[in-house]
């Protein structure tokens, strides 16, 4: 799972370089970034069908082969090949994460959820930073990251083929149940239990509609804003600095990813109003800093905005996911999580593409206008946090 996420993150630091080498306008550079998100949503939906869930090891192997083929397309370096590689990456990540999560829970129980979540977050940060370092430190900036990822993919594919993981979910395994005292509500699985900051909801009690709507909205906005900054800001930073270092240009994306990890674990889940308010404030401050930094040409302010955006993105996305599933029976938990993730990723893909189109038409002012538009819904969310009703209510 870490390999899939690292591979999908590897092209991000190279986007400004692709724009220069292939003479691509910002909207086509944005398409290289956003196409991955759109196809991943489609593959996540397909990975939930019974045939894919019944044979997770086979699905995982097919996804690894798809990831390897996408690396080959990236090595070609042409615009059609890059776009094809991103589309294949989206499909392989969607199928790979679905199969990997199934195997993680099957082999390690509830602890597998924590493993899966941690792997994906750390791998995104590692993929961006590692790709930028390889691009800066080797003579082959557009090929070295994908050669390294391709070799790692081959090794993992061999390990999967030789491992003793289950080839299918046998009925006996599916029917196994842990002792009642060991059953954990889905709201408190994995890292939430380890942090000890969540409080089990009372039986037959759910959060108020205001709390759920605000939490889900801030999660979707957080994912959209964070991906827009990651996909579009590095090009502007590179142009502003007139630097050949892809690592410096990618510091915005690195900060968003790194602080996103911290944000995931920084908010107390038992205090929804406070957590959503802080996440929304981080997004507002981060968006303003990026817009102002671009306006006055101050890269440190842009980087500070990336850090604040990352903190708001990590906290907001996690809070939205928990709010969208809290109080639901276990059999509905997975479907609601997939729906929430799908909406968030589609929104992010659309945001990146719209931002790229505005940059093509209005240069840096286009991105400033695009970021300013995000402040309207975030401000409304803050008003909901201060004036909305957040008390738990009994279901009708």
Q: Which residues pair with 393 in a beta bridge?
A: 206
Higher-confidence residue of 66 and 34: namely: 66
Contact 116, 100 (CB under 8 A): yes
Reading the block at residue 43, the tokens are 């593959």
Write the CB contacts of 232 (distance below 8 Å, at least 6 apart in sequence).
26, 30, 352, 355, 356, 359, 367
Contact 39, 90 (CB under 8 A): yes
pLDDT band at 151 (very low <50, low <70, confident <90, very high): very high
Write the CB contacts of 29 (distance below 8 Å, at least 6 apart in sequence).
15, 16, 18, 19, 235, 356
Global pTM value: 0.74
Three-class secondary structure of residue 269 per DSSP:
coil
pLDDT of residue 386: 67
Q: What is the pLDDT of residues 273-323, one digit of tens each?
A: 777 788 888 888 888 888 888 778 788 888 899 999 999 888 888 888 777
Q: What is the pLDDT of residues 244-274, one digit of tens each?
A: 778 888 888 889 988 988 887 766 555 667 7
**Pairwise CA distance, residues 277 & 251, whole Å:** 26
pLDDT of residue 196: 37
Higher-confidence residue of 96 and 202: namely: 96
Q: How many other C-beta atoms are found inside a 10 Å radius of the C-beta of residue 78?
A: 10
pLDDT band at 179 (very low <50, low <70, confident <90, very high): very low
């Amino acid at each position: 799972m870490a390999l899939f996420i690292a591979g999908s993150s590897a092209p991000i630091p190279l986007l400004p370089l692709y724009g220069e080498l292939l003479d691509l306008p910002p909207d086509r550079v944005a398409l290289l970034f956003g196409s991955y998100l759109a196809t991943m949503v489609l593959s996540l939906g397909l990975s939930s069908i019974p045939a894919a869930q019944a044979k997770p090891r086979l699905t995982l192997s097919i996804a690894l082969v798809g990831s390897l083929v996408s690396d080959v397309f990236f090595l070609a370096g042409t615009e059609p090949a890059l776009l094809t590689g991103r589309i294949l990456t989206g499909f392989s990540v969607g199928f790979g994460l679905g199969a990997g999560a199934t195997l993680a829970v099957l082999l390690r129980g509830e602890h597998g959820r924590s493993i899966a979540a941690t792997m994906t977050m750390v791998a995104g940060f590692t993929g961006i930073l590692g790709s930028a370092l390889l691009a800066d430190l080797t003579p082959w900036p557009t090929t070295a990251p994908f050669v390294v990822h391709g070799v790692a993919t081959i090794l993992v594919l061999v390990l999967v083929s030789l491992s003793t993981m289950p080839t299918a979910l046998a009925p006996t395994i599916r029917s196994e149940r842990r002792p009642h005292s060991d059953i954990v509500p889905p709201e408190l699985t994995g890292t939430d239990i380890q942090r000890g900051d969540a409080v089990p909801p009372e039986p037959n009690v759910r959060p108020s509609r205001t709390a759920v709507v605000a939490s889900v909205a801030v999660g979707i906005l957080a994912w959209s804003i964070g991906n827009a900054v990651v996909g579009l800001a590095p090009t502007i930073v590179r142009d502003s600095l007139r630097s050949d270092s892809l690592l410096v240009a990618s510091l915005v994306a690195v900060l968003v990813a790194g602080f996103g990890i911290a944000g995931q674990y920084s908010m107390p889940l038992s205090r929804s109003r406070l957590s959503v308010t802080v996440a929304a404030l981080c997004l507002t401050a981060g968006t303003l800093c990026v817009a102002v930094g671009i306006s006055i040409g101050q890269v440190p302010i842009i980087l500070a905005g990336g850090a604040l955006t990352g903190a708001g993105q990590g906290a907001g996305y996690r809070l939205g996911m928990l709010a969208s599933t809290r109080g639901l029976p276990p059999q509905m938990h997975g479907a609601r999580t997939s729906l929430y993730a799908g909406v968030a990723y589609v929104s992010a893909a659309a945001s990146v593409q719209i931002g790229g189109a505005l940059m093509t038409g209005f240069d840096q002012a286009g991105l400033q206008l695009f970021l300013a538009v995000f402040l309207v819904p975030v401000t409304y969310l803050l008003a909901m946090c201060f004036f909305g009703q957040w008390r738990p209510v009994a279901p009708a």
